[in-house]
Amino acid sequence: MKKILTVIGARPQFIKASVVSKAIQEKDALTEVLLHTGQHFDANMSDVFFNQLGIPRPHYQLDIHGGNHGEMTGRMLIEIEKVLLREKPERVLVYGDTNSTLAGALAAAKLHIPVAHVEAGLRSFNMQMPEEINRILTDQMSDILFCPTDAAVANLSAEGFDKKPIQVLKVGDVMQDAAVFFARQAIPPQKFNLADKFILTTLHRAENTDNPERLTAIVDALNKIHAEIAPVVLPLHPRTRKIIQEKGLTLTANVIDPVGYFEMIWLLQHCGLVLTDSGGVQKEAYFFGKPCVTMRDQTEWIELVEVGANELVGADTQKIVDAVKRKNGQTIVDEAQLYGGGHAAVEVVRHLV
């Protein structure tokens, strides 16, 4: 039986791992060891996901969080290497583009353990994003690249990966698997009493929160949208909340605590539009048929822009407001089956076997 060691550490990775781990459990040929780095340490962003999604409790919990990128990644690298030497897996499986992703891939590569990367080939072409650095380096260290879209495969081809002795495989997006699987278990956040269609907003990207001009412009846009178009509901991470307070900005939207995945699904099901700077939430909006406006200058999910489901507006106050007015309440239909239709996890595991 082949031993797979899976490294996760952040909210989207918990969700992706939930469906792949279920598929692994159905195969007698594989056994999985789960390592949680602890990168997301807030109970609403970690423990709740394990409990709700039915992911097995991690065999290893490193509790590494905080500090600068280099410090966090270095500490993870040290501790993951210890686990790999102890467990001796046949393969390491990593997800996405976080510091946990990079540390897991690098620790494995240094020990000559093959790496498989779920969500490979994504590119924003913005090297100011730490996530872009993480995903590029992780792809370089992996010998199986599980791509969610045609665009991801094309990106890797343009970088010469089709000339390397590795597997580049379009399998679809495991996030759609999760959305399909868990949609019936959606629950409203506690004390949530908005009946009207609202604008679901997420705001956490460092390029926005750490840039005073961009953050001010976004807050101004949210206040205007909240007053003139529809109520804005913003599950806000403590770090972003602290930065807004430190900058002396006034945010009049409905700010709520970070929510669990089932609550997030409910919000996606009931909103009129998604306004975000997240990567994954752009897709989740599409999975639930909602238009999306993205407060970034680039996106990894260019196919959503091409089919008109998503619009990039950067951090320009007026562009944000105009796009929300234009797209709010539209219905998005997944006619093109851009992300595999909910069968990606089975494909991932089939190739791992």
The one-letter amino acid at 114 = P
Residues 124 and 201 in one domain: no
Q: Is the dihedral of CA 320, 335, 182, 50 positive or negative?
A: negative
262-267 long-range contacts (CB < 8 A, ≥24 apart) are 262/52, 262/182, 262/185, 262/186, 262/187, 263/186, 263/187, 263/188, 263/189, 264/235, 265/179, 265/182, 265/183, 265/185, 265/186, 266/186, 266/187, 266/188, 266/189, 267/188, 267/189, 267/200, 267/233, 267/235
Q: What's the confidence (pLDDT) of residue 54?
A: 73
SS3 93: strand
Give the global pTM: 0.86
Spatial CB neighbours of 63, under 8 Å, sequence gap ≥ 6: 38, 41
Distance in angstroms (rounded) separating the CA atoms of residues 176 and 342? 5
DSSP class of residue 311 equals E
Q: What is the pLDDT of residue 301?
A: 92
Residues 6 or more apart in contact with residue 336 via CB below 8 angstroms = 303, 307
Q: CA Rg, the chain, in Å?
A: 20
Q: What is the CATH number of the domain that holds 53?
A: 3.40.50.2000
Indicate the number of domains in the chain: 2
What is the domain range of residue 258? 185-327
Question: Which tokens belong to 213?
Answer: 């001009």
Residue in 88, 48, 27 with CA at minimum distance from that of residue 345: 27
- Inside any domain, residue 145: yes
Residue 350 belongs to a domain: no
Residues 222, 137 share a domain: no
DSSP codes joined into one string, 96-145: TTSHHHHHHHHHHHHTT--EEEETTT-----TTSHHHHHHHHHHHH-SEE
pLDDT of amino acid 42:
54
Are 156 and 270 within one domain?
no
* Residue at 264: amino acid letter: M
Name the stretches of the chain with pLDDT < 50: 44-45
**Same domain (yes/no): 149, 204:** no
Look at residue 347 and tell me if it is in a domain.
no
Domain boundary among 170, 194, 215: 170
pLDDT at 187: 92
Q: How far is Cα 253 from Cα 225, in angstroms, rounded to an integer? A: 9
Q: What's the CA dihedral at 41, 45, 48, 51 to 10 degrees?
A: -80
* pLDDT tens digit sequence for 42-58: 554 456 656 667 777 88
The reply to whether 344 falls in a domain is no
Active site positions, annotated: 204
Pairwise CA distance, residues 293 & 324, whole Å: 7
* Residue 151 sits in the same domain as residue 197: no
Count of other CB atoms within 10 angstroms of residue 138: 26
- Spatial strand order in the sheet of 273-276: 254-256, 232-235, 199-202, 273-276, 292-294, 310-312
